[in-house]
Structure 1
Amino acid sequence: MERAIAHMDLDTFFVSCERLKNSVLEKQPVIIGGGDRGVVASCSYEAREFGVRSAMPIRMALRLCPEARVIKGDMEYYSNMSHVVTEVIQEKVPVLEKASIDEFYLDLSGMDKFFGCYQWTNEVADAVMKNTGLPISFALSTNKTVSKIGTGESKPIGKLEVKALDVQPFLNPLSIKKIPMVGPETFQLFSRLGVKTIKTLSEMPVDVLQELVGKNGTVLWKKAHGIDETPVIPYCERKSISTENTFSQDTIDIQNIRSVLSGMVEKLCYQLRHEKWLTSTVSIKIRYANFDTETKQCRIPYTSADHTLLRYVLELFNKVYTRRMRIRLIGVRFTGLVHGLHQMDLFEDTEELISLYQTMDHLKDRFGPSSVGRASGLLL
């Protein structure tokens, strides 16, 4: 049976959410982000025409587009809207994967005999726009890679179907930058070799690609040929990551407990970013010396930033720790996970803080998760 995989992506999601609240922003250049020292979290197509891009410093963006309206983002509002969209889609499709806060994969394989996969996808997109007012684009093809590339080519508010026989002709003229796994460094590497289109890349021997980019060479070769067997993973908010610490001796040393929590949160957040997860629910557990156990949780805007999650964890600890008894065990759990690229709070964080996180993660990738960390967590 031929697979039918649709990719859906909300167009300039943060901007579209703000336009729901303020129609004056329609057709205006809009930048979502922090203050003068912050970076662009999202921008409208009108701003992109001036060269504004996500993750660009706000100051640079305003030099390119002085007329742009800069709006401080509201991640809680965006997260809530994302949940609404998810519910609309989930009611209408057999298998849904939430790839990030604003994009989704749908596995519609086998549904042609009942309704027609393209018509079904089109009606799902219409339902999203009708129920939320948010614009959405989609592409339908035989696998994730082609459908994701197709969505990018169809925006804004695009609808595209790339049938099996059309996959290679569709991919061939496109830049290799359109392949999801090709980042700036890989693009520069192949550009120096004169390889700029997917057609040229597809004509390279797989062993040459392996020599150039290692084990990813085979994956890259397959994607250039429109081959991708990656399954659509059913969406479920019960996914979680967690850690616990049992003290060698029951303790009532609050300063030490806070240090332990800091170290636990930092390690979990590194895991979130390393695996490209965002969390929307934080839980904390404490077990007293008499083995009584209490937990508390709260729903939060999607994030994977240490300082943001640590604040919530410490607030929960203050609320749950009421007996003033010695503590035997403490645990932290992040649930409601979705894959996402918005790994920092781009509305609050400065360029320097974002750079610091990137540097620390790079050091941890190279030398191990315990190679560098916050001073507050060193007692762990």
Structure 2
Amino acid sequence: MDLDTFFVSCERLTDRRLEGKPILIGGVSDRGVVASCSYEARKFGIHSAMPMKLARQLCPEAIVIKGNASTYSKKSEEVTEIIREWVPLFEKTSIDEFYIDLSGMDRFFNGFKLASELREKIIDGTGLPISFGLSENKTVSKVATGEAKPNNKLKVDHGFEKIFLSPLAVNKIPMVGEKTYQSLRDLGIRKIMTIQQMPVELMEKVFGKNGVTIWEKANGIDRSPVVPYSERKSISTERTFDRDTIDVIKLKGILLAMTENLAFQLRRGQKLTSCVTVKVRYSDFNTHTLQSRIPYTSADHMLIPTVLNLFNRLYNKRLLVRLIGVRFSHLVNGGYQINLFEDATEMINLYQAMDKVRDKYGDRTVMRAAGIEAKTISRFNPFKGEPPPLLPNRRM
């Protein structure tokens, strides 16, 4: 199930005058980025992650809205609660996309009828348009949802997966990005049917392991399960000092380094957080925590001010500090990793570049100067299952 042009739909709920008009949501300056756009704007060749300046050139009459991440998070939670009440197993893969497992329910209900009724319940309860695709696996369901849009539904019966996929363009296959799509086109492959007719060994020879995955998806094969959605997952880090301290600059520097590192772990794990908690333990062993709910994000510069603000509210200047910690919770899967409503393309490119360096050389290779003295950061990483070893402090 996928909420259609989710950000745009949320804005239209509050201002009906936006109906039927080309809408751009994102950074309002020329250096900003399009976070979402209406179908009316897409007719001009506009798409998400496009520089706002170019989008305005393509469609000068478009209405540009900065967007309200808090509103979008709230509406997403409303949809999540409706789904939670209706089905036994679902996975929330982003702020506006859900996989629902109806396996075995045909013994008691008609799966397509149940999904249709759930869709109507969401539309009636939230006012948001939503589409769904029903099939035997995630890949075909996702493609079917895309074909069903806008605001519609589509069922692909078992045994008809290949027939359904074959006439579609190869970039309809999930995981086929711009570069892979161009490589496939260079080989003369434009339709999924062509991949279906190719030996899997040839795809593996050209694209490696990804070639096998692309071939399987093109043939409607996907064994990945629906992972139960849970808001209990969290990622956290703490630091206990050898000597209790009242050095505020040191404390804030370590908190900054912790936040920066955890934010990178979120992005690497394709996660977003909507709840930030700061923990302070004093020399008398009294422990205090404070938390704040925020719009879903994994961007350092959105999380660091929240953490420092919580610390300022917690900190008692008359007591020595023994331990400090940061925790991000209410995690969801999500590709929306940067605050597209405010960030310029330079900021997005900077995050991607830094994360690429960290992936290759270590997660503390690149860091803010204010947190560089935090030589070790203890961390629990739920994406790996076990705490990873501490990395040496590298400076660039």
Calculate the TM-score normalised by the size of structure 1. 0.96
Is 1:23 matched with 2:23?
no
- CA distance, structure 2, for counterparts of residue 203 and residue 271 of structure 1: 40
Which aligned pairs between 1:77-226 and structure 2 lie closer than 5 A?
A: 77-226=71-220
- Root-mean-square deviation (CA, aligned residues, Å) is 1.1
- CA distance, structure 2, for counterparts of residue 374 and residue 278 of structure 1: 21
Q: What does the per-residue CA deviation read over 1:212-235, in whole Å, with 9 as the maximum and x for residues that have no partner? A: 222223222211111111111111
Residue of 264, 271, 285 corresponding to 1:270? 264
Which aligned pairs between 1:63-82 and structure 2 lie closer than 5 A?
A: 63-82=57-76
Describe the SS at the equivalent of 1:324. Answer: coil
Distance apart, 1:311 and its partner CA: 0.6
- CA distance, structure 1, for counterparts of residue 119 and residue 74 of structure 2: 18
Describe the SS at the equivalent of 1:164. Answer: coil
Alignment size in residue pairs:
373
- CA distance, structure 2, for counterparts of residue 208 and residue 324 of structure 1: 69
Residue of 40, 43, 50 corresponding to 2:37? 43
The residue number in structure 1 matching 2:281 is 287
Letter of the 1:34 counterpart: G
Distance apart, 1:268 and its partner CA: 0.7
Describe the SS at the equivalent of 2:189. Answer: coil
Select between 69-78 and 193-202 the one with higher mean Cα deviation.
Answer: 193-202
Which aligned pairs between 1:222-301 and structure 2 lie closer than 5 A?
A: 222-301=216-295
Letter of the 1:35 counterpart: V
Letter of the 1:24 counterpart: R
Describe the SS at the equivalent of 2:160. Answer: helix
Q: Is the 8 A contact 2:246 2:317 kept in 1?
A: no
Letter of the 1:100 counterpart: S
Letter of the 1:10 counterpart: L
Select between 129-138 and 242-251 the one with higher mean Cα deviation.
Answer: 242-251
Letter of the 1:174 counterpart: L
The residue number in structure 1 matching 2:390 is none
Q: Is the 8 A contact 2:26 2:341 kept in 1?
A: yes
- CA distance, structure 2, for counterparts of residue 209 and residue 247 of structure 1: 54
Distance apart, 1:366 and its partner CA: 2.0
Distance apart, 1:193 and its partner CA: 1.2
Select between 113-122 and 285-294 the one with higher mean Cα deviation.
Answer: 285-294
- CA distance, structure 2, for counterparts of residue 128 and residue 76 of structure 1: 19
Which aligned pairs between 1:360-379 and structure 2 lie closer than 5 A?
A: 360-379=354-373
Q: What does the per-residue CA deviation read over 1:21-75, in whole Å, with 9 as the maximum and x for residues that have no partner? A: 0000000000111122211010000000011110111111011001100011100
Describe the SS at the equivalent of 1:137. Answer: strand
Distance apart, 1:202 and its partner CA: 2.3
Distance apart, 1:323 and its partner CA: 5.4
- CA distance, structure 2, for counterparts of residue 191 and residue 76 of structure 1: 40
Select between 16-25 and 185-194 the one with higher mean Cα deviation.
Answer: 185-194
The residue number in structure 2 matching 1:4 is none
Q: What does the per-residue CA deviation read over 1:310-336, in whole Å, with 9 as the maximum and x for residues that have no partner? A: 010001111111253111111111111
Q: What does the per-residue CA deviation read over 1:226-270, in whole Å, with 9 as the maximum and x for residues that have no partner? A: 111111111110011111112222111110111111111111111
